[in-house]
Homo-oligomer: A and B are copies of this chain.
Amino acid sequence: MLHTFQIFCPGCVQIGIPQAQRISQEFDPDRVAVIGLHTVFEHHSVMGRDALEVFVHEYRLRFPIGIDKYEGQPQGVPLTMREYQMQGTPTLILIDKNGYIRLHKFGHISDLTVGFSIGALLSEEADESAQLPQSAEPLTSNATCDTDGCSV
């Protein structure tokens, strides 16, 4: 499970990250790997690595968290976020045993639906039946935040 967020996105801090924490606590880490990704697409100057480290420390996050990259200096939408065609933060992505994206949701998603999707994916045999994600279109940056999250 890939959970993408920004440290100043209210929908991430209040809803998305607590959900990621529940998932990392309830499921066996050998079967469900929870990975955070800091996908900063706005206010880059105040959401650097140092600020993220303070955030992770104070919120006591225990799962591994990556930092999305840019071509050159941090500005606009970062590379993974573009490649995966994310619409904003938070975004929850489920990747199956074969490495394919099977669930891709921007904004709120219920615990019932996430749990259901994880249960269905873990019941599958590892094979090549899953579809490759379509090639990514470049996203333009025009960010706004509401109670669901921050959109690009």
| Residues in B neighbouring A50, C-beta threshold 8 A | 45-46
| Residues in B neighbouring A14, C-beta threshold 8 A | 13-14
Q: Known contacts being A46-B50, A119-B123, A122-B120, is A112 close to B22, with CB within 8 Å?
A: yes
- State whether B111 touches A26 (Cβ < 8 A): no
Tell me which of A53-61, A67-75, A76-84, A131-139 binds B: A53-61
| Residues in B neighbouring A47, C-beta threshold 8 A | 54
Count A-side interface residues using an 8 Å CB cutoff.
38
A115 on interface, CB distance cutoff 8 Å:
yes
A126 on interface, CB distance cutoff 8 Å:
no
A128 on interface, CB distance cutoff 8 Å:
no
